[in-house]
Structure 1
Amino acid sequence: SIWRDVLVASLAIQLVGLATPLFTQVIIDKVIVHQTHSTLIVLGVALVLCVFFTSGMTWLRQYLVLHTGNRIDAVLGSQVFKHLLRLPLPYFEQRPTGTLVARLQGVETIREFVSGAAVTLILDLPFLLVFLAVMFAYSWQLSLIAVGLLGAIALISFLVAPLFREKLNQQFMLGARNQAFLTEYVAGMTTVKSLQMEPDIDRKYGDCLAQYLAAGFSTRQVGNSYQVVANGLEQVMTLAILIVGALLVMRNDGFTVGMLVAFQMFASRMSQPLL
């Protein structure tokens, strides 16, 4: 039931997103040319209502997704803990406490996925195909430019994903090791003090922390590199559509300035999930 409501909200958001460029096209091609102030007021009010409606539906969709994520987190967390209680004693004797706690907290990763951008992209993907069909109806030349550059961004994302996942796993394992180290030695601080192990423990923790920070820096560098390349290609797409679109407008073949602006808005909407 909740996912049905989320799907309905996504449909409403995408339909309004489809209407906004069309209203913009009418304002540029019809209202400004004929100077019809009354039509401008009507369309302006319609655009404002579209903005408020989209904001409200986006908030509602995100609320439903977050609510579902919390329910999944509660069920999984409870089931994982019950499973942990049923494990034999040797399982706990062979693993540090901190590592077990870190793995229990890994359930939160599933909730973050459910309530994150990935699920929103999955829900919006069928509607993006509708946007693509409308773009081809406007201009197949500009659509090929958009598809080519957006396809390049998607390909880079596909190639980078395994590396990024590997970096995240490495960072998680090092973080679990750090947490296990802290948990074990803080719990055994009496022994550490009695044996005067503070300098040795401090040096070991410093090494562990340095490795964890280096892994986090490497992970963020992969993400930053992808963002730079993806944003660069998106800007190239915008400029290419503008230049080729201007040539189409100057040919006077029925492609208008308003259609060019509307097409840019459609292309921008298509690129958002990839950035």
Structure 2
Amino acid sequence: MMAQQQSHRGRALGTIAAGGAVQPFHLLRWAFAQKGADIGQPFEAALFALASALFTMTVYDRVVPNNAIASLIALSIGLAIIILFDFVLKLLRAYFIDHAGAQIDREMGEEVFERLLAMRLELKKGSTGALTGLMRELETLRDFFASATIAAIVDVPFLFVTLTVVALIGGPVVLVPALMVPLVVLIGWLTHPALERLSARSMGEGLLKQSVLVEAIGSLETLKASGAGPLLAGRWSQAVGQHSDSLLRQRLIASIGVTFAGSAAMLAYAGVVVVGVTRIAENALTMGGLIACSILAGRAIAPLGQIAQLLSRLTATRTAYWQIRELMELPPEGPAEEALSLARSSGKIEARNLSFRYPGATEKALDGISFTIQPGEHVALLGRVGSGKSTIARLILGLYPPEDGLIMVDGTDVRQFDPASLRGNFGAVMQDGALLTGSVRENVSLGREAIDDDEMLRVCGISGTHQFLGQIANGYDLKLADRGEGLSGGQRQSIAIARALAGSPQIVVFDEPTSAMDAHTETGLIQRLQDELKGRTLVLITHRPPLLELVDRIILLDKGKIIADGPRDAVLKQITRPKAA
């Protein structure tokens, strides 16, 4: 059973992610496939609603004229039993709808988050805040399917059952509620295009507002220090104003259908009474039949009110679906076919006629460069700001695919490897050195089972982390704030270095690993790294001369091209020669 459920989930989510002929209502069908039999129970519960009308008709037409108290007691007991079952089934309906919504939320949320993590960076669109807001749209999908409004779809067949019963009891009286049905549907259909446009506009403005908010919270210290608060406050005010205006218009138009449905229910009730009185005058309808028809007419229109509300929510859900679908249709990292696994790299890195241009950039970051780094070789990439050093590191790690040429590890193009398998052979410290929310222990181990406490203490000793955490009672269980706020830049870099060294990866990539450290701390780190990195490949990017003690070779870049490549001392002499002249 579990395997069948997983298989069904995979097929459904695969359909949503595949693109092509996918339609928004695939989500709807999938939701009912998850709990279709359970949600179908409202139809049985709706049949019990007929009981109250038939009970009233019987009392007026049979009990009251004959003073049949015994029959009244029997009817009352029967009605009480029906009401009890109706109550239980309505509770079950609410439970199963909420359960189906939670299941959709969990499974879809996991799938979308996995696709977000696998996103190719060159295809990333929008700011961090916009992507965060896009993930929030999963709540729109969840709320749509988990709301009681979804039961209105199941209640629609009951509408025709109710009209049939009204026709059997009152004959032509049924024309009154029957005429209201197409009017309510027509109003909903006429307002739908405007709701579509406003929903798309509202979502775009909501994502813009989310982007400003995330940027402000993530850079609060910088905003205060630089005095940029008024700038973002103005952006926030403008975004809130535009979003509020769109939401107001959207709600006003949505209320037209809902309000008209309520008015139609009142008109149906009054119309049934008027027509019913003429039928009574013709002796074609009893008083009890008129009361029953008026009750049933109101119940027949009630699902239409829910349908009108459902249509207004459907526009927002469709918009959220298309936005999420764009993310799901982005090709993930790695090869389209079966990926290769890199169990243990020898450490050889090779670039052949490598070129790369960042998305939207006019100039190439790398222009036809070639080099080979042998296993165990320690190489520094030097050059001015913007010369392409960090770009090479990103390409080696497979974060971006080359525009032209090849970047290979152990003689194989990195694009053929499974990204997780490839990066499992690397220990990388990037420029930002961002830490995760959680303990220091979690930031070093990253959930890897092979990183036990002994290994954590070993690499923290090498990186210098143990020097400031070893003497604190809860040192390695110290909870870090977002991106490691509360620690100094040097402390964050120290933890990032420990994380990169954990597990003794064969290839180590350091991009400005000590830029925030003081000279004394840096000197101690260099001494410890000389022993730690023996026999392993090192790619070092730095502007700090002391770190060059770790390398034997330097590749000098300028404007995306290699202008010098050779032994460390020879290249350093070439760099300093113009200064001596």
TM over 0.5: yes
What is the alpha-carbon distance in structure 1 between the residues aligned to residue 35 and residue 120 of structure 2?
38
From 87, 91, 94, the counterpart of 1:55: 87
What is the alpha-carbon distance in structure 2 between the residues aligned to residue 140 and residue 163 of structure 1?
39
What is the CA deviation profile of residues 66-93 of structure 1, one whole-angstrom value per residue up to 9, with x for unaligned ones?
101111111100000111111112234x
Q: Does 1:5 align with 2:38?
A: yes
Q: Which residue of 1 aligns with 2:74?
A: 42
From 292, 297, 301, the counterpart of 1:262: 292
Gaps of 5+ in 1: none
Q: Which residue of 1 aligns with 2:180?
A: 149
Asked whether the 8 Å contact 2:159–2:303 carries over to 1, the reply is no
* Inter-CA distance 270–119: structure 2 relative to 1 (3 Å threshold): same
How far apart are 1:226 and its partner, in Å? 2.7
What does 1:183-222 align with in structure 2 at a 5 Å threshold?
Answer: 183-222=214-253
For 2:133, what is the secondary structure of its paired residue? helix
Asked whether the 8 Å contact 1:150–1:234 carries over to 2, the reply is no
For 1:139, what is the secondary structure of its paired residue? helix
Asked whether the 8 Å contact 1:69–1:112 carries over to 2, the reply is yes
Q: Which residue of 2 aligns with 1:274?
A: 304
Asked whether the 8 Å contact 1:153–1:230 carries over to 2, the reply is yes
What is the alpha-carbon distance in structure 2 between the residues aligned to residue 135 and residue 267 of structure 1?
7
Asked whether the 8 Å contact 2:61–2:286 carries over to 1, the reply is yes
Asked whether the 8 Å contact 1:121–1:273 carries over to 2, the reply is yes
What is the alpha-carbon distance in structure 1 between the residues aligned to residue 273 and residue 202 of structure 2?
42
Higher percent of residues as strand = 2
For 1:106, what is the secondary structure of its paired residue? helix
Asked whether the 8 Å contact 2:173–2:276 carries over to 1, the reply is yes
Asked whether the 8 Å contact 2:205–2:239 carries over to 1, the reply is yes
What is the alpha-carbon distance in structure 2 between the residues aligned to residue 189 and residue 256 of structure 1?
74
How far apart are 1:170 and its partner, in Å? 2.1
What is the alpha-carbon distance in structure 2 between the residues aligned to residue 128 and residue 199 of structure 1?
56
From 131, 151, 164, the counterpart of 1:100: 131
What is the alpha-carbon distance in structure 2 between the residues aligned to residue 209 and residue 177 of structure 1?
9
For 1:95, what is the secondary structure of its paired residue? coil
From 170, 175, 190, the counterpart of 2:201: 170
Q: Does 1:65 align with 2:85?
A: no
What is the alpha-carbon distance in structure 1 between the residues aligned to residue 248 and residue 195 of structure 2?
12
Q: Does 1:74 align with 2:113?
A: no
Asked whether the 8 Å contact 2:261–2:301 carries over to 1, the reply is no
What does 1:13-32 align with in structure 2 at a 5 Å threshold?
Answer: 13-32=45-64
Which stretch shows the higher mean deviation, 198-207 or 243-252? 198-207
What is the alpha-carbon distance in structure 2 between the residues aligned to residue 46 and residue 123 of structure 1?
26
How far apart are 1:117 and its partner, in Å? 4.1
What does 1:103-118 align with in structure 2 at a 5 Å threshold?
Answer: 103-118=134-149
Q: Which residue of 2 aligns with 1:119?
A: 150
How far apart are 1:183 and its partner, in Å? 0.3
What is the alpha-carbon distance in structure 1 between the residues aligned to residue 38 and residue 228 of structure 2?
58
What is the alpha-carbon distance in structure 1 between the residues aligned to residue 122 and residue 225 of structure 2?
28
What is the alpha-carbon distance in structure 1 between the residues aligned to residue 81 and residue 242 of structure 2?
52
Which structure's CA Rg is the greater one?
A: 2
Structure 1 stretches of 4+ with a deviation exceeding 3 A read none
Which stretch shows the higher mean deviation, 260-269 or 132-141? 132-141
Asked whether the 8 Å contact 1:138–1:263 carries over to 2, the reply is yes
Asked whether the 8 Å contact 2:184–2:304 carries over to 1, the reply is yes
Give the TM-score normalised by the residue count of structure 1.
Answer: 0.92
For 1:216, what is the secondary structure of its paired residue? helix
Asked whether the 8 Å contact 1:20–1:50 carries over to 2, the reply is no
What is the alpha-carbon distance in structure 1 between the residues aligned to residue 82 and residue 156 of structure 2?
21
The one-letter code matched in structure 2 to 1:206 is: S
What is the alpha-carbon distance in structure 2 between the residues aligned to residue 88 and residue 155 of structure 1?
45
The answer to which structure, 1 or 2, has the higher relative contact order (CA under 8 A, 6+ apart) is: 1
For 2:126, what is the secondary structure of its paired residue? coil
How far apart are 1:269 and its partner, in Å? 1.2
Asked whether the 8 Å contact 2:98–2:146 carries over to 1, the reply is yes
Gaps of 5+ in 2: 1-33, 306-581
What is the alpha-carbon distance in structure 2 between the residues aligned to residue 220 and residue 48 of structure 1?
40
The one-letter code matched in structure 2 to 1:44 is: S
What is the alpha-carbon distance in structure 1 between the residues aligned to residue 264 and residue 161 of structure 2?
23
Higher percent of residues as helix = 1
What is the alpha-carbon distance in structure 2 between the residues aligned to residue 58 and residue 178 of structure 1?
39
Question: How many residues end up aligned between the 2 structures?
Answer: 272
What is the alpha-carbon distance in structure 2 between the residues aligned to residue 240 and residue 26 of structure 1?
22
How far apart are 1:60 and its partner, in Å? 0.3
What is the alpha-carbon distance in structure 2 between the residues aligned to residue 228 and residue 127 of structure 1?
22
The one-letter code matched in structure 2 to 1:256 is: T
Which stretch shows the higher mean deviation, 173-182 or 187-196? 187-196
Give the TM-score normalised by the residue count of structure 2.
Answer: 0.45
